[in-house]
Amino acid sequence: MSRVPLDPRTAPTFQQAARALLGDAQLRKNVRHATDVIQTKRRKLVEEKQDWQALRESGRQIRAHVLENLDVYLEEFERNFTKAGGVIHWARDAAEAQKIVVGLVKEIGTTEVIKIKSMTTEEIQLNNALEAAGVHAYETDLAELIIQLGEDQPSHIVVPALHKNRAQVREIFRRTMNLPDLGDKPADLADAARRFLREKFLRVTTAVSGANFLVAETGGVCIVESEGNGRMCLTMPETLISVVGVEKVVPRWQDLEPLLQMLPRSATGERMNPYNSMWCGVHPGDGPQRMHIVLLDNGRTEVLADREGRQTLQCIRCGACQNACPVYRQTGGHAYGSVYAGPIGAILTPQLMHLEHSQSLPYASSLCGACYEVCPVKINIPEVLIHLRHKVVEQNGWYAPESLAMKAVAQVFRSERRFRAAQRLGRLAELPLVKSEKRSFAIVGQKQEASDGWIGWLPGLLGGWTSTRDLQAMPQETFRDWWEKRGKQ
Amino acid sequence: MSTAREEILRRVRAAKGASTLETAAASYAGIDRSYQTTATLSHEAILDLFEERLREYDANVFRVSALEVGAAVTEVLRSRKIERVLIPEGLPEDWQRGAEFVVDREFSATELDGFTAVMTTATVGIAETGTIVLQTAPGQGRRAITLVPDYHLCLLPVISVVETVVEAMRLLELTKNLPTTFFSGPSATADIEMTRIKGVHGPRFVDVILMN
């Protein structure tokens, strides 16, 4: 049941992937429907919150404060979680985290684990590592189960299977659960999942999870969810292993006040999600008696080191930016080539990849700012996107086309003589391309024919502009020309 | 070779400069917390709101005086046709009416699965969100007992109902080290076409008795 995970190191560029996915009408319809529904619910519940902007500002400050003092809070969390009977492990990268988890599972001697939906374990491709070690991981979140059984990939942080509709889900369940008579009502499908998983919850003795928040002062862990599969995994097994990004810590219990109010409203458009679980290490007689937390770096400290990019780590993974993004809403999540899709993925993934991969992602945006507006912790995603575009160009060296073009433009703008010469040259060069009544030429693609005085086609790299819109021809007389003539009269 | 722990902490400090407990505490104190922290409604209105929210989640809500609890329990269980109920230690005797009540004795997962109903009290109710907070304490039991059975009857004194999440978090400050579960209605999913479906793995049916 192994599947090829989304891996930014091998994924095609966003533009290539998007082109293919845009042709999938069913996918686009499913994505549009899901994001519309969540956005409508979210908007209503955010509007009823009179103090929403105060909550956002508080959330931002808490998350930014954590990042500024991350070493202090990680050490405090480690101290308190250890005191409460848990064991902390540290992992520099995905391979080290995989090794730790596989090692722990092998030590227990089990060949099965149950899992709560966790983007962090997707990020480190844990299921494949477990599989390779002869351990089967059962995903227990309904969406993750759909994806696992369908050998598919997650396309959204919160609702990973939103790209599948009920008929598609029914086909997957019919085939993999051997239920030829299964109906396609969502309730039937959820019921099938309940029956399929119940036996696993009662039998499997080891669970793997991520976490939404770690609380430094108590050594506490907080996981929010809807279905109760999370509670099953956190409560029934003997051992719980949680893989958590180092940035997920918050200082105190009281810091959950704004975060727990904003997360469900932003993520699923609910006042509160059905279940929040909080616990501090091992509690005698209640829940797993062996607890491990793997604190994962995997590129996060490098993001922390970038002053402009650092705010990316404030993210609480609500997915509101994905639902609001006009680009994501067209392409869906898979085009991003990473488990983190949408605007947050467009800034997080390239940074986690040290900008060696996913260089196209900072360009997967129109910079409209909708993501910033809905972000509960006020991550200025457009600002980081522009910052990363700059870094991509710098990293690719002075001979990259974009870098060369910008250098040329800088030279032209620096001197009046060169600027005027460029304008004259431009007017001359564009002549054959400007549409006039006398001349008309075929237009490539679906675009309508350009009107008079407009350019409908440009060669080479410049064609990127005219492939979807026209360019107005330069005026015969510039403002400077007109002004100078006027002075002489 | 340094350990992963040393290496990661070194990277963190190199990335943003080292912090100390003192500098962190000073900057922590300056965090803006100007969001709403107190109730705006009367207690009666808070109870009405709580009831409305719980009903939105398809829970039945009953308001009774302290003396009527046993009778209310009998009535609710009868209407649900429940004859055997799992309970934690620490529930008052005179609430255990109208069915066979079995106290949790570290039942195994499979044994828990044999129960269809559980009855507990709770720590706090939050009106704004229709949330009930359970903690590992007498009368509420360990987390598994309110998870595996399909039906949960929850009894909550009206004085434990607050308006906002913030008020609840501040009440819970004293017992924040206990295993804590917030539940808001029955378990649910919207993973298929964003259609909310009640009841996946947690209890599918919840009734609440509010006690004066």
Tell the burial category of A184 from Cβ atoms under 10 Å away from its Cβ (0-12, 13-18, 19+): middle
Interface of B with A in 159-178 (CB under 8 A): 165-166, 169-170, 172-173, 176-178
Measure CB to CB from residue A92 to each of B4, B177, B180 and give the nearest one: B4
**CA dist list (Å): A131 to A104, A113, A151, A241:** 14, 11, 14, 16
Counting residues of chain A whose pLDDT is more than 70, the rounded percentage is: 96
pLDDT, one tens digit per residue, over A336-394 is 999 999 999 999 999 999 999 999 999 999 999 999 999 999 999 999 999 999 999 88
pLDDT digits (tens, 9 = 90+) for A153-205: 999 988 999 999 999 999 999 999 999 999 989 889 999 999 999 999 999 99
Written as six digits, the tokens of A358 are 């996913």
pLDDT of residue A2: 47
Which tops the pLDDT comparison, A217 or B196? A217
Count of CA atoms in the C-beta half-sphere (13 A) of A143: 28
pLDDT in the model for residue A444: 47
Tell me, yes or no, if B197 comes closer than 8 A to chain A by beta carbon.
yes
Please provide the distance, in angstroms rounded to a whole number, between the alpha carbons at the two ends of chain A: 83
* Whole-angstrom distance, CA of residue A191 vs CA of residue A188: 5
Q: CB–CB of A351/A297 below 8 Å?
A: no
Q: What is the DSSP letter of A336?
A: G
Q: Tell me phi and psi for residue A433, to 5 degrees.
A: -95, -20
Say yes or no: B26 contacts chain A, CB-CB below 8 A. Answer: no
What single letter denotes the amino acid at residue A292? H
pLDDT in tens, B67-121: 999 999 999 999 999 999 999 999 999 999 999 999 999 999 999 999 999 999 9
- Give contacts of B53 with chain A, Cβ < 8 Å: 271
**What whole-number percentage of chain A has pLDDT above 90?**
80
> Residue A324: in which H helix or E strand, if any?
helix A320-324
Tell me what the pLDDT averaged over chain B comes to: 95
Mutation for testing the A interface, residue in B189, B195, B206 having most A CBs under 10 Å: B189
b (16+ CB within 10 A) / e for A106-138: eebebeebbbbbbbbbbbbbbbebbeeeebebb
Q: What pLDDT shows up at residue B101?
A: 98
| pLDDT (0 to 100) of residue B186 | 80
Q: ipTM for the complex?
A: 0.96
Contact of B35 with chain A, judged by CB distance below 8 Å, is answered with yes
Cβ-Cβ contacts under 8 Å, A280 against chain B: 176-179
- The structural domains of chain A, with segments of one domain joined by +, span 14-301, 401-488
| CATH code, domain carrying B95 | 3.40.50.10420
Q: Predicted confidence band at A77 (pLDDT cuts at 50, 70, 90)? A: very high
Residue A446: pLDDT above 80? no
Is the confidence at residue A437, as pLDDT, over 80? Answer: no
pLDDT at A141 over 90: yes
- pLDDT beyond 50 at A438: no
Q: What percent of chain B has pLDDT over 90?
A: 90
Bigger pLDDT: A80 vs A1: A80
Nearest chain A residue to B182 by CA distance is A276
Tally of structural domains, chain B: 1
CB B130 within 8 A of CB B56: yes
Q: How confident is the model at residue A100 (pLDDT cuts 50, 70, 90)?
A: very high
How near does any CA of chain B get to the CA of A363, in Å? 26
List of chain A residues whose C-beta atoms are within 8 Å of the C-beta of residue B35: 51, 54-55, 58, 257-258, 261
What is the torsional sign of CA B156, B160, B164, B166?
negative
Q: CB-based contacts of A321: which residues, under 8 Å, 6+ apart?
A: A342, A343, A344, A370, A371, A374, A375, A381
The SS3 call for residue A260 is helix
- Mean pLDDT to the nearest integer, A458-481: 86
The answer to whether residue B200 sits within a structural domain is yes
Give me A81's structure tokens: 């979680």
- Name the region of B136 (left: φ>0; alpha: ψ -120 to 50; beta: rest): beta
Q: Which domain holds residue B117?
A: 42-184+196-211
In which order are the strands placed within the sheet that holds A275-280? A249-250, A213-215, A220-225, A275-280, B180-183, B131-135, B124-126, B161-162
How many residues does the structure list for chain B? Answer: 212
CATH topology of domain A14-301: Rossmann fold (3.40.50)
Residue A84 in this model has a pLDDT that exceeds 50:
yes
Type of residue numbered B127? A
Q: Where are the alpha helices (DSSP H) in A109-165?
A: 119-123, 126-132, 142-149
What digits encode the pLDDT tens for the residues A197-232? 999 999 999 999 999 999 999 999 999 999 999 999
Q: Return d(Cα A246, Cα A261) in angstroms, integer.
A: 22
A228: nearest CB among B19, B23, B201 = B201
Residue of A nearest to B10 (CA): A71
Task: Note whether A354 and A309 are within 8 A (CB).
Answer: no
Instruction: Go through A185-209 and write b for each residue having 16 or more CB atoms within 10 A of its CB, e for each that does not.
Output: ebebbbbbbbebbeebbbebbbbbb
pLDDT-derived band at A439, boundaries 50, 70, 90: very low
Is the pLDDT score of A1 beyond 60? no
Determine, yes or no, domain membership for B171. Answer: yes
Residues of B in contact with A251 (CB under 8 A): 24, 28
Beta-carbon neighbour count of residue A453 at 10 Å?
12
